[in-house]
Structure 1
Amino acid sequence: MFATALDAQAPRENTIRAELFADGPAQAGEEWTLALHFTPVAEEWHGYWRNPGDAGYGMELDWQLPPGWEAGEPLYPVPEQLVISGLMNHIYEGPYTVLVPIRVPAGADIDDPPAISVEADYLACTDTICVPQQARLTLDPSDAARDPRFDRWRAEIAPLLDREGSFAIENDRLRIAIPVPAALELAAPHVFVGEPDLVDYTATQAFFRDGDTLIAEVPLGRGEVPATLSGILAFGDGEGVRFTAQPGAVPASGTALAPGADELPSVWLALLGALIGGLLLNIMPCVFPILSLKALSLAKAGRAEGAARRDALAYTAGVVLACLALGAALLALRAAGEQIGWAFQLQEPAVLVGLLVLAVAITANFAGAYELPGLIMRGGTGGASSFATGLLAAFVATPCTGPFMAAALGAALLLPWEQALLLFAALGLGLAFPFLLLGFVPALRSRLPKPGPWMDTFRKAMAIPMGLTALALLWLAWRLGGALFGIGALLLCGLTLAALVYTSRRRARGKTSGYIWPALAPLLVVFAFFVLPESVSQQRNDVESLLDPVEYSDAALAEARASGQPIFLWFTADWCLTCKVNESVAIERDATQEAFEAAGVIAMRGDWTRRDEEIARFLTAQGAAGVPLYLWYPPEGEARTLPQVLTPDLLVDLAQARGSSPPTAPAPVAESDPSPAPEPAPGTG
């Protein structure tokens, strides 16, 4: 037997009908389960989880039970996410069932008990309107036949984990340690927190694995921190588990996961992407400053067959080893809890200074300021010089990510470490492939100019792009560390160059370098790696933009999405030449500014020149290992990832598709007591 709503007290039929069912007759001293089954009258209507999210209200139940009988907490299925006008809602589409345990006392009269009843107040919404619902339901405990759908309804309820987790508040984020087996596959994890307003519902959630513990990080909202935390961990496709957590220690590190980790391309496809991505790095703008080094290697390739092959293999070995070393360092640091991404080395002041000193030294050598046998900057022959050239080429060429490479590196952050290292090796192989091809295909080498006096002229000409590279690194040093840091780096370059010139002139006269390097080298190292970084300014040097962007943060993104306006979010860094080219070609344009103003587009920028854990965490959640990353958020729905190479009119076209006036967000539903005869009211769904 089931109960129906008492329609006599409600002049309008509910848009989501409620029915009350029992799992058989009540038994004294046992737990009795009732089911509230909800059925929308049309598919556009949806109901809500107990914590509805940014708008709406959860269901309230007022039970009328016999004396001593007690109703427990309602048990819900795994909800879905619905974002409308930047507001996140936790909803159920289609029919859904909520189970309520009833504790029947041992001495209860179950032969002739009074009828039980419940008054349910809940909310029904479409994407445009919300209507408060009210249903009064009754049921006879002694004559309640078991509904055959109960087994299915029980299976739909998220089961409770048998162990409690722990939670902590750190850096304005809720961190939860949830005990789930390491073997459990997580397709698209999402945490639905039961306590209202505790977290920012629209913010990106980050997930990490630490053995049999899943660590979830969610930006805080405005709610108070509870004594006990509860919620649902959703796996995707309606699957999930309930959890409870007490305040306590949460592991500080783990292997990062990202939404949709199980939908990553196959390892072979990712390897192919890394190989092609590395190959394309040879023509990407961020690689142009080191083309002078590669040009000298091309010139050397015209030598004898065996020597050309040895040089090609040595160069390839240097490139691949550098990519493997950078990849291994990245994986190790992330496993230790560091929030970093690809090209993290250029966020370190000491590394940047080292590259600047090297660029100045190479520029001076190309220009003929000094000659030192055996240095890679001479473009000399031999496997050692080619190997060192490959190391340097990969180290300087990999800050930016290009087509194919971005997806492969994003996959590398999620795959097991041995597979991830294969991807980094494939990236290096792609970068070195043109020179490997020249070393092993004589027909290609025969098309190169013959070695001769022209090489000295060519090398001096290559001092120009290398000098521009040094200037760019000096500018980056100023951007990263401030004026004092830039001046100190320039001083270090001058001391190093003076020592190189002094040594070169002494060797030209047949003398040794003397004691200058044993005395100067330790001082240079201490100055570069310990003294100079202490002068780094912590003040940001924000670059002006035509779009007047909002600086990225989880809170700023959530606020922008709640406005109901389209958002263009881009992540950039001063050391990423691809980023700078895209900005000059597509972003920093009068046409883009005018189109954004007309359409009410909010521009938001994440500057990753310096290390920023919040940006690194967001990039990881998007499956990106580095910059650039461009996202377009429509007023409704999920973000769209834009290409890494922007065309001049792409952003203008996106903005113009929104029309000439900025949209307005519908007002959220106020949490008020529903009336017996509700009128439709605008809502967020």
Structure 2
Amino acid sequence: MPISPLLRPHRCAHHFAAVWLFSLLALCAVLLPATASAQIQLKLGSASTALSDTVVTPRVQAQLVALAPQGIAPGKPLELGLRIQHQPDWHTYWKNAGDSGLPTQLDWQLPAGMQATDIAWPVPQQIRVGDMLNYGYEGTVLLPVTVKVTDDFRPDPDGNIDIRLTASWLVCRVECIPEDGQFQLRVPADVADTQWATEFAAAHAQAPVALAQAQASFTALPSGDRVELRVDGLPAAAHAQTLAFYPEAADTFHHAAVLGQDWTQAWEGTTWTAQLPLSDMRGDTPAQLDFVLGLPAQGGDVAHAPPVQAWRLSGPVQGQWKSADLAQVSPALAAALAANQQSQSTNPLPAPSTSVSTSGWLAALLGGLIGGLLLNLMPCVFPVLAIKLMGFARHGSDVRAQRSNGLAYAAGVIISFVALGAVLLALRAAGEQLGWGFQLQSPLVVAGLAALFTLIGLNLAGVFELGHVVPDRIANLHARHPLGDAFISGVVAVAIASPCTAPFMGASLGFAVGMPAAQALGIFVALGVGMALPYVLVSWVPALMRWLPRPGAWMDTFRRAMAFPMFATVVWLVWVIGQQTGIDGAAALLALLLCLAALAWALTLRGTTRVLLAAVVLVCGGLLMVGTGRTLVEPAPVAAAAEQQDVWQAWSAPKQAELLAQGRPVFVDYTAAWCVTCQYNKRTTLSDSDVLANFAQHNVALLRADWTRRDPAITQALAQLGRSGVPVYVLLAPGQAPVVLSELPSKQEVHNALQML
């Protein structure tokens, strides 16, 4: 059997870039249907592109929804709402957040003739956080709003309605993160929309019912810091039951006491009474107070579950209570302020500077040059470099061609680094909290790279040859444009290397993001020069060519062997997707890669069989994408901390501050699933029994900051350390400056750092 042109030793290396181009075409064919089932929003500061009805963050999925059972017209019922689906253990807040937190805010931008009312708040659950009590929502909640459509309403000329919403919410677990989103929903005015009818009905069922026949009154007690509440006329279902109390006014009652022994409730016949402690932040005595009483499920927990029935009441306040001294802050706030002050005094972190001395910039350039050079040793970059080096065999003694290819490859590497750096700097200037490797925080980018490496691996293994699946005009582009071939190879090498932060790179990149744009881009140029340097040296120094083996049949074996590092990279990328989106996302990606491999094989066939099988695979891939594509963008249902070992805790800024305020040293591992160096260190130095024992001996708290998906809090913490990418390892101790370890810390380096405590 004759050897195909791609398998001939003198040409195998130079089909690499052509295969890359073919891979992009195949990716488009399989992945483009994703737009039918997945929507992504990129927010740049206060502006956003392609507004959607859904905003997804690592903690919540928020969606603008509508209920128009008779279409949208004057006098017809219309409701809008924000549906918030929380990740496990995260929550947002009710109209009165309790001891801490903020309620969700909705700012509507509606067409003329449409007026939105306030939120019809469902009754929340009581959420205990430390010694505080909050009122909020876990799981999924819909915040409904009734919209009045007046006679002035007119739909668009095309009969549609453009509804926009700006929403902000505070989402908390132990730490709290403010989030916001811009939403747009376009609906036809003359079509009934009942898609969300069930959820709107459930939300209204959870809202408290006004009791016209009930009478409530508050009486200030002689102590001046407590009131007695009496309620008559409650439904029979509530009699003799323990009720949950939800005050609507913030800073009036001591919320945490509702779950403790500081307040009491009782029944005097059909009258419900309670003695309630007032907040240390209370103001003057109001004339009236609004509140909600909730009836828990039979045998249910008053503290943790929303009530099955709830009633909204209002009562006058009789007498005067003693106003609190508002110059004094609450004990919880005082403790938090003390902890923050202690953290600032014992752990001063350097802020990024916007001006850098010449010597500092030159040092950063040198670090970038060395870091780029070391990137060539990364597992998935090495096969690309090896294949390109073997490509010198094609030129033989043609020194001019070798040098031209070397420069073209270097240009592809350097321009790609500068492009990545420019995008990173632009997004940070627009307000985004991003760092090196930011593109791999998108599951779709990871999925695209997995598909690219799958196709490259299949080609290297000989499953398909480019000349058999595309026209000769495209397959032979590399022969007609060898410099373009070399340039694209450089681009591919940078794409493969982007998940990695090599030694010396971390400090340089952290330096770069705080510099003026021209100086920062100079560091990215240095990274590109360092990565391209080995190939350029070999191409320009003929003496180095003698180190390379002579061309021969062994190159075919070498080419096929290089397929396995590519497949190993695919395994790693599927694991990354699993960390980001869960087991369903990983399974969906594997299924799509199977379709992609089948498509590449089908295109190698001839005649009608080729067309029919390729069409069947494309249809199957499209259906698969419609059915499962959303799992590639949705966050994992279980927090990534599930991977954490028992000795490691999930990092948060408040957690770090709390431990330092207690006088305990803290070691933070800033990591990400897509960072190869991070995973290597996690499985070697950071899991070594001697290292862990030394941490325990010095009572060091181990925190792991997982940056697999975007997390502005982690990005900000990295910036304070002068870094913009992972891995970063820092040892913090009260009264001492932070000790930042190298990107590849040895066991001895960790032991030496601990000896300084």
- The normalised TM-score by structure 2 is 0.50
Number of the residue aligned with 2:718: 619
Q: Residue 479 of structure 1 contacts residue 541 of structure 1 at CA under 8 Å; is this kept in 2?
A: yes
Change (3 A) 1:473 1:515: closer
Once structures 1 and 2 are overlaid, which stretch shifts more, 575-584 or 262-271?
Answer: 262-271
Q: Select the residue among 529, 532, 536 that pairs with 1:429.
A: 529
Separation in structure 2 between the aligned mates of residue 449 and residue 559 of structure 1, nearest angstrom: 60
Number of the residue aligned with 2:733: 634
Change (3 A) 1:484 1:424: same
Q: Residue 591 of structure 1 contacts residue 652 of structure 1 at CA under 8 Å; is this kept in 2?
A: no
In structure 1, the residue corresponding to 2:731 is in which secondary structure? Answer: strand
Q: Residue 324 of structure 1 contacts residue 421 of structure 1 at CA under 8 Å; is this kept in 2?
A: yes
Q: Select the residue among 573, 590, 603 that pairs with 1:503.
A: 603
Q: Residue 573 of structure 1 contacts residue 579 of structure 1 at CA under 8 Å; is this kept in 2?
A: yes
Q: Give unmatched runs, 5+ long, in structure 1.
A: 1-167, 176-197, 199-219, 225-230, 235-256, 659-685
Alpha-carbon offset, residue 358 of structure 1: 1.0
Separation in structure 1 between the aligned mates of residue 534 and residue 743 of structure 2, nearest angstrom: 23
1:513-546 deviation per Cα after TM superposition (whole angstroms, max 9, x unaligned): 9985996799599769974534542432335455
Q: Does 1:650 align with 2:749?
A: yes
In structure 2, the residue corresponding to 1:288 is in which secondary structure? Answer: coil
Q: Does 1:576 align with 2:697?
A: no
Q: Select the residue among 341, 346, 364 that pairs with 1:270.
A: 364
Change (3 A) 1:593 1:276: closer
Alpha-carbon offset, residue 463 of structure 1: 1.6
Superposed CA RMSD: 3.8
One-letter code of the match for 1:460? R
Q: Does 1:297 align with 2:382?
A: no
Q: Residue 443 of structure 2 contacts residue 580 of structure 2 at CA under 8 Å; is this kept in 1?
A: yes
Alpha-carbon offset, residue 382 of structure 1: 2.2
Separation in structure 2 between the aligned mates of residue 430 and residue 441 of structure 1, nearest angstrom: 17
One-letter code of the match for 2:376? N
Number of the residue aligned with 2:351: 258
1:477-517 deviation per Cα after TM superposition (whole angstroms, max 9, x unaligned): 1111111111111111111111111212339x999999859
In structure 1, the residue corresponding to 2:705 is in which secondary structure? Answer: strand
Change (3 A) 1:477 1:534: closer
Q: Residue 579 of structure 1 contacts residue 628 of structure 1 at CA under 8 Å; is this kept in 2?
A: yes
1:374-408 deviation per Cα after TM superposition (whole angstroms, max 9, x unaligned): 67999999223222221111111122222322122
Change (3 A) 1:654 1:499: same
Number of the residue aligned with 1:63: none
Change (3 A) 1:497 1:556: same
Q: Residue 569 of structure 1 contacts residue 604 of structure 1 at CA under 8 Å; is this kept in 2?
A: yes
Number of the residue aligned with 2:418: 324
Number of the residue aligned with 2:495: 395
Q: Residue 586 of structure 1 contacts residue 650 of structure 1 at CA under 8 Å; is this kept in 2?
A: no
Separation in structure 2 between the aligned mates of residue 263 and residue 344 of structure 1, nearest angstrom: 24
Q: Residue 599 of structure 2 contacts residue 617 of structure 2 at CA under 8 Å; is this kept in 1?
A: no
Change (3 A) 1:376 1:641: farther
Q: Select the residue among 545, 548, 552 that pairs with 2:647.
A: 548
Number of the residue aligned with 1:223: 333
Q: Residue 362 of structure 1 contacts residue 377 of structure 1 at CA under 8 Å; is this kept in 2?
A: no
Q: Which has the higher helix share?
A: 2
In structure 2, the residue corresponding to 1:570 is in which secondary structure? Answer: strand
Number of the residue aligned with 2:446: 352
Q: Select the residue among 442, 447, 459 that pairs with 1:365.
A: 459
Q: Select the residue among 502, 508, 516 that pairs with 1:408.
A: 508
Change (3 A) 1:386 1:597: same
Q: Does 1:563 align with 2:662?
A: yes
- The normalised TM-score by structure 1 is 0.55
In structure 1, the residue corresponding to 2:709 is in which secondary structure? Answer: coil
One-letter code of the match for 1:309? R
Separation in structure 2 between the aligned mates of residue 375 and residue 278 of structure 1, nearest angstrom: 31
Separation in structure 2 between the aligned mates of residue 367 and residue 299 of structure 1, nearest angstrom: 17
Separation in structure 1 between the aligned mates of residue 354 and residue 429 of structure 2, nearest angstrom: 17
Number of the residue aligned with 2:403: 309
Alpha-carbon offset, residue 368 of structure 1: 1.1
Alpha-carbon offset, residue 223 of structure 1: 3.5
Q: Select the residue among 572, 578, 585 that pairs with 1:472.
A: 572
Separation in structure 2 between the aligned mates of residue 366 and residue 488 of structure 1, nearest angstrom: 25
In structure 2, the residue corresponding to 1:266 is in which secondary structure? Answer: helix
Change (3 A) 1:451 1:543: farther
Give 1:159-174 correspondences, 5 Å limit: none
Q: Residue 732 of structure 2 contacts residue 739 of structure 2 at CA under 8 Å; is this kept in 1?
A: yes
Separation in structure 1 between the aligned mates of residue 477 and residue 716 of structure 2, nearest angstrom: 38
Alpha-carbon offset, residue 616 of structure 1: 0.6
Separation in structure 2 between the aligned mates of residue 571 and residue 325 of structure 1, nearest angstrom: 25
Separation in structure 1 between the aligned mates of residue 721 and residue 416 of structure 2, nearest angstrom: 26
Separation in structure 2 between the aligned mates of residue 510 and residue 425 of structure 1, nearest angstrom: 49
Change (3 A) 1:459 1:524: farther
In structure 2, the residue corresponding to 1:632 is in which secondary structure? Answer: strand
Change (3 A) 1:498 1:418: same
One-letter code of the match for 2:363? L
In structure 1, the residue corresponding to 2:704 is in which secondary structure? Answer: strand
Change (3 A) 1:293 1:525: farther
Q: Residue 290 of structure 1 contacts residue 466 of structure 1 at CA under 8 Å; is this kept in 2?
A: no
In structure 1, the residue corresponding to 2:606 is in which secondary structure? Answer: helix
Alpha-carbon offset, residue 548 of structure 1: 1.4
Separation in structure 2 between the aligned mates of residue 402 and residue 377 of structure 1, nearest angstrom: 34
Q: Residue 631 of structure 1 contacts residue 640 of structure 1 at CA under 8 Å; is this kept in 2?
A: yes
Separation in structure 1 between the aligned mates of residue 633 and residue 503 of structure 2, nearest angstrom: 37
1:423-446 deviation per Cα after TM superposition (whole angstroms, max 9, x unaligned): 212211211111111111111123
One-letter code of the match for 2:401? A
Separation in structure 2 between the aligned mates of residue 328 and residue 520 of structure 1, nearest angstrom: 38
One-letter code of the match for 1:361? L
In structure 2, the residue corresponding to 1:606 is in which secondary structure? Answer: strand
